[in-house]
Amino acid sequence: MAALQPVRGTHDLLPDAARAHRAVEARAFEVASRFGFGEIMTPIFEFTEVFKRTLGDTSDIVTKEMYTFEDRGGESLTLRPEGTAAIVRAFISGGLAQQVPVKAFYRGPMFRYERPQKGRQRQFHQVGIEILGVEGPAADIEVIACGAHILEALGLGGTVTVELNTLGDVESRAAYRETLVAYLQGRKGELSEDSLTRLEKNPLRILDSKDEGDRAVVAEAPILADSLNDASRDFFARVQEGLAALNVPIEISPRLVRGLDYYTHTAFEFTTTKLGAQGTVLAGGRYDGLVKQMGGPPTPGVGWAAGVERLAMLLADPPPAPRPLAVIPAGAEADTLALTVTDRLRRAGYAVDLGYSGNMGKRMKRANKIAARAAVILGPDEIAAGAATVRDLDSGDQEAVPFDALEGALDRFR
C-alpha cells in the first residue's frame, strides 16, 4: 500500500519552515500593532457571494481558482481566496461602521486552485492590513509605510522596490474606460476568449489578464495617467509627498492597475528580483467602492496583503530552534525527581527536554542532538547531596546547584 501524500499544491510546514512562517506573522503583527491595527479573525470559508460580488464574475479567481462547494444545507460556500472581502464582510455584519476609522490586521490561510510554483501554493498564507473609513491620502501613506516598516523589521528593506501608481477617482476611471475600450476594440482579434467576454462586461479586467497575447496588447494600451482629473492628480501628489517625508522610496509604475471598479486612487506593490517571475511580496490599494458594493454604507478603504511563504523564503537568517535544557536522570530512583524538576523549570519559563528512556550516555547523546544549552544531571550522588549537577554543554564546565536554587542558577542559559 502506497504511503499517503499531501494534496498537490499543499505542503507541510515542518519545524524549521514553521519557525520562519511564524516569525513573519509575529513580526508583521508586532509592527502593525505599533501603527494601531487590531486583529480581526474571520472564518476560512464564506458564502460564495462574498467573493463573487467583490472579485467579479469574470475574474480568473472566480471563474477558475475558487474552491467552492455546497454544504449539507444546500448553501454555496467558498474557501477564502483572499482576505479583504472577508474583513469588509465582518465590518458590515459586525456593525463596525459606527466605529470608523477601523484599522484591521489579519493573517491566515487562503485557497486558490492554480498551478503550484515557487512561492505559490493552492493553500497559502497571508498577512494583511485594512483601514476603513478614511477618505484622505493619510491612510494610503500609513498602510504603505506600515508595509515598509514590516519588511525592514524582517531584514528585507533593501531587497524590495515599492512600485506606485494612481487609478484616479470615479470620474477619471470612467474617462479612461472609454479610451481603453476604443483601443481594445481596434485589437479585438488579438484578445483571448476570456478577454473578449470582459470587453463587454468589465474591460478594465483585461489589464489583469495573465494570457500572453492579452499582455502584449495591454503593453501598448493608453495609460490611466493621461485620463486623470485635477483632484486625482492632487491626491496622488499628496501620497508621494507623504512617503517622501517618511523616507519611503518609490518608483512610479504607470501600468500598475486594478481592474475592478471599486478600486480608486492609490495602487502599489512591493516587489523583489530574488524570487524569479513571482516577484510581488506585498500588494494593495484603495477601494472606496467596495463596502457599498457588498451592501454596507459608503465607506472608503485602503489596505494590502502579503504572502507569508514568499517573505519566509527571503529571510536571510531564519529564527533558530530554541535551545532547551536537558534534564537527565541517572538511575530509576531519579525518575520521579526528574519529573518534578522538569515541571518546576517549565513553570519558571524554561524550555526543557526530558528524554523518555535510556541510560545516561544515550540521554547525553540526545541532549547534544537537540543542541541543548545545558544538562541538569540527577543521579544517586546528586540525590544524596541535595544538589543537581549542571553542565554547560558549550564549555563543558559544570557545577553543583541545590535543587531549590535551580530556577535562578539556570537563568544564564535562557
Report yes or no on 198 lying in a domain: no
DSSP state of 63: I
Among 35-39, 317-321, 335-339, the range with the most confident prediction by mean pLDDT is 35-39
What the block records as the C-alpha cell of 312 is 519566509
What the block records as the C-alpha cell of 298 is 459608503
Report yes or no on 2 lying in a domain: no
304 shares a domain with 356: no
Q: Which of 119, 110, 142, 145 is nearest to 270 (CA)?
A: 145
Strands in 9-160 per DSSP E: 38-39, 45-47, 68-70, 76-79, 102-111, 123-132
Residue 63 has pLDDT above 80, yes or no: no
368 shares a domain with 283: no
Report yes or no on 210 lying in a domain: no
Q: What's the whole-model pTM score?
A: 0.88
Q: How are beta strands 76-79 and 68-70 bridged, if at all? A: antiparallel
What was the pLDDT predicted at 59? 65
Report yes or no on 195 lying in a domain: no
329 shares a domain with 309: no
Full residue range of the structural domain in which residue 143 is found: 15-169+229-314
Number of domains within the chain:
2
What the block records as the C-alpha cell of 291 is 463596502
pLDDT range class, residue 93, cuts 50, 70, 90: very high
Report yes or no on 233 lying in a domain: yes
Among 254, 282, 314, residue at a domain's last position: 314
Q: Which residues contact 29 (CB under 8 A, 6 or more apart)?
A: 39, 105, 107, 127
Among 314, 346, 378, residue at a domain's last position: 314
378 shares a domain with 297: no
DSSP state of 359: -
Report yes or no on 115 lying in a domain: yes
CA angle 302/219/289 to nearest 5° reads 25
Report yes or no on 183 lying in a domain: no
Can you give the CATH number for the domain in which 21 is found?
3.30.930.10
Helix, strand, coil share (%) of the chain residues, nearest 5: 45, 20, 35
Classify the phi-psi angles of 247: left when phi > 0, otherwise alpha if psi is within -120 to 50, otherwise beta.
left
Q: Give the separation between CA 254 and CA 271, rounded to whole angstroms.
A: 15
263 shares a domain with 138: yes
Among 288, 314, 340, residue at a domain's last position: 314
288 shares a domain with 256: yes
Annotated binding residues for L-histidine, written as ranges, equal 82-84, 112, 126, 130, 258, 262-263
pLDDT in tens, 134-190: 999 999 999 999 999 999 999 988 888 899 999 999 999 889 989 989 999 988 888
> Is 325:353 a contact under the CB 8 Å cutoff?
yes
157 shares a domain with 255: yes
Residues 87-91 have a mean pLDDT of 97
247 shares a domain with 363: no
141 shares a domain with 266: yes
Can you give the CATH number for the domain in which 368 is found?
3.40.50.800
pLDDT in tens, 223-238: 888 999 999 999 999 9
355 shares a domain with 244: no
For residue 310, report the phi and psi dihedrals to the nearest 5 degrees: -65, -40
Q: What is the CA radius of gyration of the chain?
A: 28
DSSP state of 134: -
> Is 192:211 a contact under the CB 8 Å cutoff?
yes
Which residues does residue 306 pair with via DSSP β-bridges, in sequence order? 127, 282
Report yes or no on 181 lying in a domain: no
159 shares a domain with 252: yes
234 shares a domain with 121: yes
Q: Which of 318, 340, 319 is nearest to 329 (CA)?
A: 340
Mean pLDDT of the chain: 91
Q: How many CB atoms lie within 10 A of CB 79?
A: 20
Report the Cα 287 to chain-centroid distance in Å: 19
Annotated binding residues, written as ranges, equal 82-84, 112, 126, 130, 258, 262-263
What was the pLDDT predicted at 55? 79
Residue 58 has pLDDT above 60, yes or no: no
> Is 328:377 a contact under the CB 8 Å cutoff?
yes
